[in-house]
Structure 1
Amino acid sequence: MTDIPMPKYRQIADDLLKKIQTGIYPINALIPKEIELATFYGVSRPTIRQAIQLLVNDGYLDRRKKRGTIVRQRKIVQEFTHVIASYDQEMDNHGLIPMTKVIMFTTEVADNEVCERLNLPIDSIVFKLVRLRYANDQPIVIVTTYIPYSVVPHLSDYDFTAVSLYETLAANNTAVVRVQRRLEVIKADETVANLLNVQQNEPLFYFHTIGHTQDSGAIEYSIAKYRGDLNSFNIDVSL
């Protein structure tokens, strides 16, 4: 069987991709103009356009009117809509380096919404944990989590910049085994925009999560605000 040679435009696309992945063309940088690339590779401009379009389709490049073609940050395809896993596990699965910054960790009197979500009496005490989570040094999501104080009173002994909340809950015999999630899309206010390094009013994915233990008790209520430009979500539906 005769090997079919790879089309020239695909060879060029592969070479451009290597330059993106090695940082020769970094994120948000303009790649050379079509005429410059055509001269460099010794091909026609239509061939260059085909190569660029492949990388646009795969999410590596973005054409901008009056600016040219820039290297874009590929979106992280999140699986947590149908898999219960820690954030660190998800990032590891994508080959990304996770990091967590704790913005706030305190106890407070739960408001009516939190009491309702966690099925607690009015004015119950809860832990409030606010974390800014990163992937490869990029802020990805800010998560505010409420945990009933009466169920895990020693939660403040843990450093959640270094340990997983879900693993900690499991170690305290309150493992999350089932979750309910609701998705909305909201606009970033000034505070969240600054934390996530986006423009004010940029769209965010806004998830409400209630985590349940084996006995169906609600142990966690979280609200997560994901950057719309860096995240997408897989949702599996079976009949």
Structure 2
Amino acid sequence: MNKFNEIYLDIESAILNQQYQAGELLPSENELAKSYNVSRETIRKALVLLLENGYIQKKQGKGSIVLDVQRFNFPVSGLTSYQELKSSQHINSKTILVKNIRQTMPDAVTKQLQLPKDTAVHFVERLRQVNGESIILDKDYLLTSVIPDLPDKEAENSLFQYIEQTLGLSIGYAQKEFTVEPVTKEDKQLMSLHGDTHVVVVRSSVYLEDTTLFQYTESRHRLDKFKFVDFARRRSPM
């Protein structure tokens, strides 16, 4: 690994662990160079990575200001489980299993996905708590034709881990839709909304590598805690 990457990861860890607080200035380039025993150019490369990943903002005449990173990044184009995000972004989180029952898929969803009306699913409803506040409500519908059994322990832990490691299935891709919608009665009952009137809703249809649909997810997020990120590259017009 390049030295500037090591320094980036070290400072990133310090910011995530709140050794550097939001609004504080990082040490100067000279101070960091002395501390890490590297050149200022190496420090500049590390700071560029911190800037590009949303950890700092450069301000002329002041230096590198630490940004509030308590909004957790959810990749738009990636297919990553909440448990994987929790681990990679050091989220202090707890999952509460609200429901894990067998039922038929809601009519609106079967119509959207062109499935038979009596399609049987496991309906899993989970709350994601961060620092004691319920800020995500996840609703998952998993087709019993693909996933015959779903124990509560697995539903509470990681669906993807159970599907891939226990069932031996290969998850391929998902189609996602992002909207901002008014809160529902259930949102108000289960989530810590602090008077918010809207939530971000992510609806995903998830497929195995062989293109078999196995999951439909509706994930409802409190507005102030999450941002959704993607990487886009400009392509030259033809």
1:1-239 pair list within 5 angstroms:
54=65, 58-59=67-68, 74-79=70-75, 81-156=76-151, 158-161=153-156, 163-170=157-164, 171-238=166-233, 239=235
CA distance in 2, matches of 1:206, 1:220: 16
Find the counterpart in structure 2 of residue 9 from structure 1.
Answer: none
Kept in 2, the 8 Å contact 1:189–1:201? The answer is no
1:118-160 deviations in Å (ceiling 9; x for gaps): 5532212111100101234332310101011122111236442
Alignment size in residue pairs: 178
Q: Percent identity?
A: 17
**Structure 1 residues 195, 145: CA separation in 2 closer, same or farther (over 3 Å shift)?**
same
Find the counterpart in structure 2 of residue 39 from structure 1.
Answer: none
CA distance in 1, matches of 2:136, 2:201: 10
- 1:20 CA displacement: 5.4
CA distance in 2, matches of 1:77, 1:19: 19
CA distance in 2, matches of 1:88, 1:132: 13
SS at match of 2:151: helix
Larger Rg: 1
Kept in 2, the 8 Å contact 1:166–1:175? The answer is no
Kept in 2, the 8 Å contact 1:176–1:219? The answer is no
CA distance in 2, matches of 1:189, 1:160: 24
SS at match of 1:83: coil
CA distance in 2, matches of 1:230, 1:157: 27
SS at match of 1:96: coil
Following superposition, which runs of at least 4 residues in structure 1 exceed 4 angstroms of deviation?
17-21
- 1:194 CA displacement: 3.5
- 1:179 CA displacement: 0.6
CA distance in 2, matches of 1:19, 1:208: 35
Gapped regions of structure 2 (runs ≥ 5): 1-14, 23-60
**Structure 1 residues 134, 157: CA separation in 2 closer, same or farther (over 3 Å shift)?**
closer
- 1:109 CA displacement: 1.9
The letter of the residue matching 2:80 is: A
TM-score by length of 2: 0.65
CA distance in 1, matches of 2:188, 2:151: 28
CA distance in 2, matches of 1:190, 1:119: 28
- 1:101 CA displacement: 0.5
CA distance in 1, matches of 2:194, 2:184: 9
1:38-76 deviations in Å (ceiling 9; x for gaps): xxxxxxxxxxxx99xx56xx238xxxxxxxxxxxxx312
Kept in 1, the 8 Å contact 2:182–2:197? The answer is yes
The letter of the residue matching 2:110 is: C
TM-score by length of 1: 0.65
The letter of the residue matching 1:77 is: N
Gapped regions of structure 1 (runs ≥ 5): 1-13, 22-49, 61-73
**Structure 1 residues 158, 95: CA separation in 2 closer, same or farther (over 3 Å shift)?**
closer
1:87-132 deviations in Å (ceiling 9; x for gaps): 0111211112332111111011223233245553221211110010
